[in-house]
């Protein structure tokens, strides 16, 4: 299945200014380790069949929060085509997060995602005319609602509460790492 604008692992994505070694330091800072990789991968079988339901929750929250939907709007009106295109990539992001492959291609694509939220490349992928930037204050704060509302989707038949806790903790750590990487375009040169 081809998703328009999903360029992970392609030559369309530039190299991240963050090295794999720096990523390893970030992972250590977040107490993110091999167990977290294992729990993220375990979560994939639970979240994969529920991607659309997860997105319904997340998009419902964004749509009900005027200052958040403003990032997808032009002249005060949400751009439906833009929201739809981003939603497809957001669904793939769920699967990519649960795949937990922290290689150079993943690192490069995280930088691309950051650029697409920042005025550097916002709207370019879809030819949208929405707001020129997702304010950093909104981007980083969304870690909580995204990870909090994901938790019920991690529960399933035969999944113990301890396993849900472990998967949820891995998701929180992964989201913290990803949003930190996405923040690179927002940070003054030399300060990241």
The span from the CA of 128 to the CA of 142, in Å, is 22
Residue reference for tokens 């032009």? 74
The encoded tokens of residue 157 equal 């038949």
Higher pLDDT, 152 or 156: 152
Q: Is residue 12 part of a domain?
A: no
pLDDT of residue 24: 98
The Cβ of residue 118 has, within 10 Å, a number of other Cβ atoms equal to 19
Q: From residue 22, how far is each of 18, 28, 38, 115, 192 by CA, in Å?
A: 6, 10, 21, 19, 11
Q: Is residue 66 part of a domain?
A: yes
Query: What is the mean pLDDT of the segment spanning 35-51?
Result: 98
Q: Is residue 86 part of a domain?
A: yes
> What range does the domain containing 128 cover?
20-186
Query: What is the mean pLDDT of the segment spanning 76-80?
Result: 94
Q: How far apart are the first and last CA of the chain?
A: 35
Q: Is residue 13 part of a domain?
A: no
pTM for the complete prediction? 0.96
The span from the CA of 53 to the CA of 46, in Å, is 12
pLDDT of residue 96: 98
CATH number for the domain including 120? 1.10.490.10
pLDDT of residue 65: 94
pLDDT of residue 165: 98
The 10s digit of each residue's pLDDT in 87-128 is 999 999 999 999 999 999 999 999 999 999 999 999 999 999
Q: Is residue 10 part of a domain?
A: no
Residue 146 predicted with pLDDT over 70: yes
- SS3 string, 58-102, reads HHHHHHCCHHHHHHHEECCEECHHHHHHHHHHHHHHHHHHHHCCC
Quick check: 164 and 155 in contact, CB under 8 A? Answer: yes
Domains of the chain: total? 1
Q: Is residue 162 part of a domain?
A: yes
Confidence band of 86 (pLDDT split at 50, 70, 90): very high
pLDDT of residue 187: 96
Residue 1 predicted with pLDDT over 90: no
Query: What is the mean pLDDT of the segment spanning 129-150?
Result: 96
Question: How far is Cα of residue 32 from the mean position of the Cα atoms in its chain?
Answer: 17
């Amino acid at each position: 299945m081809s998703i328009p604008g999903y360029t992970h692992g392609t030559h369309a994505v530039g190299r991240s200014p963050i090295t794999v070694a720096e990523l390893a330091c970030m992972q250590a800072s977040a107490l993110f380790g091999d167990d977290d990789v294992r729990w993220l991968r375990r979560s994939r079988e639970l979240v994969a069949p529920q991607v659309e339901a997860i997105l319904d929750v997340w998009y419902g929250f964004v749509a009900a929060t005027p200052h958040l939907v403003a990032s997808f709007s032009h002249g005060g009106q949400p751009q439906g085509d833009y929201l739809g295109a981003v939603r497809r990539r957001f669904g793939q992001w769920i699967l990519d997060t649960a795949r937990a492959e922290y290689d150079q291609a993943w690192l490069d694509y995280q930088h691309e995602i950051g650029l697409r939220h920042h005025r550097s490349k916002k709207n370019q992928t879809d030819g949208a005319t929405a707001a020129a930037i997702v304010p950093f204050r909104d981007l980083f704060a969304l870690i909580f609602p995204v990870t909090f509302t994901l938790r019920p989707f991690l529960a399933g038949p035969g999944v113990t509460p301890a396993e849900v806790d472990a998967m949820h903790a891995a998701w929180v750590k992964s989201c913290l790492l990803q949003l930190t990487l996405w923040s690179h375009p927002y940070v003054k040169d030399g300060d990241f």
